[in-house]
Structure 1
């Protein structure tokens, strides 16, 4: 009996202790939940948008540790680092050629204005804002140039697209960092026309160079003829009696060098030989 009474008393004391301790345990758990839910850490490269009972608050949380009201406030992280959007945009040039432009765009959200962007657009801003803005900017600028100018004035076209797109994105609290037009694609017909034009220009250039070469060669012949005529004129002016006598003497010397030692039977030429057989 005594043992049973002891057990019963212990059970009653345990129940009393549990009843007394349980509220403290529950309070501790609730406090831990509140403490855990009241702390938020905004990671590097992001900003925190504060929602209070669903309403966007004007405060934007920077990177680091912050406190919020548990179960009342919610913090939504938004990436503000540089992002990339790339697309192919088809537009008509000023001379009505269809041009497909491949463009890559680097942009980022304005950190202090992400709450307004979230309130007006949401987090699907790339599909709702960026892609349409790129297409509109490319079409607006492409229409100002001919297809040939799009290639020859590529840097100017790129600068205008960047200026137009930056203005559009700034309206939605986004900043444009850089754009890169990687390629212009034209229709097959236009590419063939360009190729034929280049062939015609090359042929025209070759013909022009040939004409220039012929003209130079003709001028060279004229100059050579003038030089030869002038040389003959100078030679005629320099012919004197002394020169004639010198040429005769040189001819006689060449004849003597060729003589084999036999006297000719007949006199002739410039050498005064006589027939010895007739001298008796």
Structure 2
């Protein structure tokens, strides 16, 4: 007859210990998670966002009940090719490169209301506001103005995009560049002619201002040259040897202004 295995058999005890250790490791692996640098994590409990954003480093969660969704908070660079109409109904094409970053403390609200991952942030948050700002700004200017004041308009677009996104407070705009402006060839010649005309007008205006300043300077000088001033100027320049003596200040108007004499 087979002898029954005793409950306190060492083999059974070892198996129990191994099972307990493996269960503990599995539980610990499910409870711990690491958030990499440059990211934050949103933790959900049974599908509902709980707590604030988890910062980079080692973090804890409840195994099998809580889930983790990472969000990148580093600066993202996204080029957007666009076409829009100007005030004079001309089509322009260009590229708007926007630089933005998710606000770390807003990751939970983004997950709850708009985007469940990083890939959805640009098309659902950035792109609509960017295209709206581009259309709004360029529709205020004629094509010639846009081409000649490109840098100023680029700065205006950046401010408009930032203001639009600040309404929702999800992301921070860190820069915007407009490049690759494309316009119809016939309008390039018109723009160049306008620039040449503006430069010629500016040069003419500058020359007029210089002439006016010179005339004012001479007029002021002429009005300030009375007898006493002339006499003082003469004395400042006189070498003491030349026999040229001006009339004294305050003398009769019929007296010659300059007396030329000879040494005896």
TM-score category (smaller protein): 0.5 to 0.7
Contact residue 117 and residue 172 of structure 1 kept, 8 A: no
Q: Is the 8 A contact 1:93 1:144 kept in 2?
A: yes
| 1:115 paired residue number | 108
Q: 1:193 offset after TM fit, Å?
A: 3.9
Answer whether contact 2:86 2:139 (CA < 8 A) is retained. Answer: yes
1:130 equivalent among 126, 130, 136: 126
Q: Runs of at least 4 residues of structure 1 off by over 3 A?
A: 13-24, 196-203
- For 2:18 and 2:195, how far apart are their aligned partners in 1? 92
Q: Does 1:142 align with 2:138?
A: yes
Matched, 1:184 2:181: yes
Spell out, residue by residue over 1:173-226, the C-alpha distance to the aligned partner (whole angstroms, 9 max, x if none): 000000000121113xxx2243267479979x99xxxxxxxxxxxxxxxxxxxx
Return the alpha-carbon distance in structure 2 between the equivalents of residues 134 and 76 of structure 1: 26
In structure 2, C-alpha distance between the alignment counterparts of 1:139 and 1:17, rounded to whole Å? 79
Q: Is the 8 A contact 1:85 1:131 kept in 2?
A: no
| Distance across 2 between alignment mates of 1:200 and 1:184 | 18
- CA shift, 1:53, in A, is 1.2
Match of 2:84, SS state, is: strand
Question: Within the alignment, does 1:92 sit opposite 2:109 as a pair?
Answer: no
Instruction: Kindly name which structure, 1 or 2, has the bigger radius of gyration based on alpha carbons.
Output: 1
Partner residue of 1:175? Answer: 172
Q: Which runs of 5+ in 2 are unaligned?
A: 201-264
**Whose helix fraction is larger, Structure 1's or Structure 2's?**
1
CA distance in 1, matches of 2:58, 2:13: 37
Whole-Å Cα distance in 2 between the matches of residues 104 and 143 of structure 1? Answer: 19
Whether 1:155 and 2:151 are equivalent positions in the alignment is: yes
Unaligned 5+ residue runs, structure 1? Answer: 207-280
Relative to the length of structure 2, the TM-score reads 0.66
The whole-number CA distance in structure 2 between the counterparts of 1:61 and 1:24 is 34
Secondary structure of the structure 2 residue equivalent to 1:58: coil
Deviations 1:121-176 (A, max 9, x none): 11211122222222111111000111011121112211211111112223150000
Count of equivalent residues = 195
Indicate the residue corresponding to 2:189 in structure 1.
195
> Over residues 213-261 of structure 1, what are the superposed CA-to-partner deviations in whole Å (9 max), with x where a residue is unaligned?
xxxxxxxxxxxxxxxxxxxxxxxxxxxxxxxxxxxxxxxxxxxxxxxxx
Q: Label 1:55 to 1:192 Cα distance change in 2 as closer, same or farther (>3 A).
A: same
Distance 1:117 1:172, change over 3 A: farther
In structure 2, the CA distance between the partners of 1:24 and 1:201, relative to structure 1 (3 Å rule), is closer
* Offset at residue 35 of structure 1 (A): 1.0
User: How many Å separate the matches in 1 of 2:134 and 2:192?
Assistant: 28
